[in-house]
Structure 1
């Protein structure tokens, strides 16, 4: 008798490796594995390296658990694209999320026809990379990293999702490839696009045998790794925000409507009936690292009273230039006067970054997103309890812990939702 297919599998294809997570019906992690790209080849642009790393991550999961997988969803790095030949096989190497095209005519051509709110502008957009790859001989389709990995299981690598397609020019409001794209790239080169969370196919017999998965397992349209990381925290309703306290300060807010501000780099991913809007400030941990080591920050933070204001009005930046919540390439760091007490100076810096965070969420609300209602934090800075207390005082909203920071958990939730809906429809 066949085992019941009750587990959801999330695959996160990141910058350095592949992570696989299994969730049970209660959203608990019952299996986790990881594999490094560098253990499977040196060239991260080679899709064969992706495939070997993907296979290694799956093989590290217990075979008995893999046999219970009922639905699978995949996330990949945003804007990473790959050319395919007429048979659907990879045609040469990919262009990664951080590759920029050297030909200045490509971003200029995009700027001439794309609306300002499109996420496809610039030499490092998914569209710019797709246009560059389209010139290769024999190219018949251009897909995203997540599309191709999911296609290894479904045999349909030309099916994408509304999140990964965004930076390739997809219009998430009208839910289609816009007409203006036709002047830049042949429409038949672009992948089919399905709403995130919707079924895209089934595991083929060949893939089932190769990877130890049930043939009837459903493939569910995924998302970018950034969106998956957001869902992993447990944020699930309009007004939920997630602040990433890394080298830069990145804010994401779940909204019931799309918001855009091209001047500040704000655009919205469509996630089913909801939208994920966000922006990134140049402030953050990088602005602190200009003045203190991580060890100094930890030691000084322990001596700060976070409930007593420093009265210092700082705007910490690692260098000149800001992009969000205001776009000003000439904005200089404001970190004067500097007190003799390093403890007080650090407090002023932490308060300044917290004020930028609060202003960022206010800016998103001014554009039409809901006010920030609940806040979760991820990244190295989230473990600093003093900074968290300062942020709680300045941002003035309910703060709760992130359930997970694993993107694989977030994308697995999409597969889990499909299983839950299937159980309701067919009790």
Structure 2
């Protein structure tokens, strides 16, 4: 019986899982990570990544026979980089994915033609290449670039490793030609010798060395497979693997990732694409809206109780034949507003929006006047569902196929009412998985069969509630405030009228 190890290097913790080829989790463990934040600065100690990984894997593998371990892969946060020496020791703290001390102007001037060809048009200050330029100002001799996953993979195998195309995206790798654009790096003064080789996710990097085996409990000789960013790992764990299928992750914020055969070009630059292990493309975008607004606007409230109350007040009756996983049955008569509340909130977690439009001045708002906390709660949930729908409308405008399986993951899926509301707004069945997480995605990439490792918990059908008029009003408000591009707004209205 083969066992696959998936390791997720997140922001707040390292998580390791050991999964059988049949999808049974034999062991799992996590260890916390500490961040150092100060305004635009966000750093972590790379040595803590290794210590936390070693502790987590040793615990996860405690009851797993060594002979059964067949491979492992590691994912990491996108755009996190540091400088290391040639022996793999950290020379600098790690600049995390949202560290914004760097400036992207030089990178965008030198690489404009390449970034345009790759579809995302411009780098942001928190991307890895601007941060690399910032680090190189005071770099000691012999310094080398290392992404978060590169640092721990080198410790695992005991020698230099290639980086994967997914983690290298924000460092400027040419995903079409699958190489570093050395002409851009020459213009920026980045020596070619500091760059690791690049390979596709899923490529074998080496095997676990004796020293790493002693520290981690991972058997010596275990194949180490090139991983991905955490977002792509979550997509793999959710099973969004075929063109037209999408994983919508709704937690503190909203992230969509899908699969296309061709590279998507976005004139606004809010959608960018990773490269899949098979050479297809993984487009996606991250919104600044999401459930984070709930804790901010409804502090201390019992969200589970609010969800049940919202379902009783606004939920539409379950559709016939729908599988388990929808809202609780209604008692005491039909809901007063089937399908949704009379108010809707644009649930922006912080100022500025990133997807499905770019608007640095965007701010949250509410259409209508919620009468109480139940309506405020439901209005936030409806607004998040509308943003999710608008993301799919925009992706359709760009030519991305959106007719495949829609898989919902993230904390929002704990609310049956919210899940049903999202199915109603999307007008599509939505799939819930049993154990979708980035670490599981890495177990799949390490060699596990996704058909056996990824299990469906429920498929929630639309109830038939008609929310189109409210959605069109919401789109018009975003357009009227000058945030949503008129072409995107018109396309959303056209799709709604079909």
TM-score interval (norm. to shorter): 0.7 to 0.9
**Cα root mean square deviation, aligned:** 2.8
Alignment check: 8 A CA contact 1:304 1:344 kept: no
2:344 and 2:50 mapped to 1: Cα distance? 47
Structure 1 match to 2:184: 180
Structure 1 match to 2:130: 128
Local SS of the residue matching 2:286: strand
TM-score, length-normalised on structure 2?
0.75
Q: CA deviation at 1:309?
A: 4.2
* Residue 238 (1) aligns with residue 243 (2): yes
1:320 and 1:212 mapped to 2: Cα distance? 45
* Residue 295 (1) aligns with residue 338 (2): no
| Cα 1:91/1:16, change in 2 over 3 Å | same
Map residues 266-285 of structure 1 onto 2, 5 A cutoff: 266-273=271-278, 274-285=280-291
1:316 and 1:303 mapped to 2: Cα distance? 23
Q: CA deviation at 1:312?
A: 4.4
| Cα 1:50/1:310, change in 2 over 3 Å | closer
| Cα 1:218/1:317, change in 2 over 3 Å | same
2:363 and 2:30 mapped to 1: Cα distance? 42
| Cα 1:152/1:168, change in 2 over 3 Å | same
Could you tell me which of 110, 123, 135 is aligned with 2:107?
110
* Residue 53 (1) aligns with residue 46 (2): no
Local SS of the residue matching 1:11: strand
Map residues 16-27 of structure 1 onto 2, 5 A cutoff: 16-27=12-23
| Cα 1:303/1:234, change in 2 over 3 Å | same
Local SS of the residue matching 1:222: coil
Deviations 1:368-409 (A, max 9, x none): 321142222222222111111111111012211123243111
TM-score, length-normalised on structure 1?
0.86
Structure 1 match to 2:80: 80
**Greater displacement, 286-295 / 171-180:** 286-295
Alignment check: 8 A CA contact 1:306 1:387 kept: no
| Cα 1:119/1:12, change in 2 over 3 Å | farther
1:321 and 1:58 mapped to 2: Cα distance? 39
Deviations 1:274-299 (A, max 9, x none): 32211222322234455434426335
Local SS of the residue matching 2:70: strand
Local SS of the residue matching 1:263: coil
2:378 and 2:213 mapped to 1: Cα distance? 55
Structure 2 match to 1:415: 446
Alignment check: 8 A CA contact 2:53 2:216 kept: no
1:239 and 1:263 mapped to 2: Cα distance? 21
Q: CA deviation at 1:230?
A: 1.7
**Greater displacement, 293-302 / 70-79:** 293-302
1:137 and 1:262 mapped to 2: Cα distance? 39
Alignment check: 8 A CA contact 1:159 1:200 kept: yes
* Residue 316 (1) aligns with residue 346 (2): yes
Q: CA deviation at 1:64?
A: 4.4
Could you tell me which of 357, 360, 367 is aligned with 1:336?
367
Alignment check: 8 A CA contact 1:204 1:215 kept: yes
Deviations 1:223-245 (A, max 9, x none): 11121122112222222222222
Could you tell me which of 149, 167, 172 is aligned with 2:170?
167
Structure 2 match to 1:369: 400
2:344 and 2:74 mapped to 1: Cα distance? 41
| Cα 1:366/1:181, change in 2 over 3 Å | farther
Could you tell me which of 308, 313, 332 is aligned with 1:304?
313
Structure 2 unaligned residues grouped into runs of 5+: 36-41, 317-337, 452-498
Alignment check: 8 A CA contact 1:228 1:410 kept: yes
Q: CA deviation at 1:170?
A: 0.9
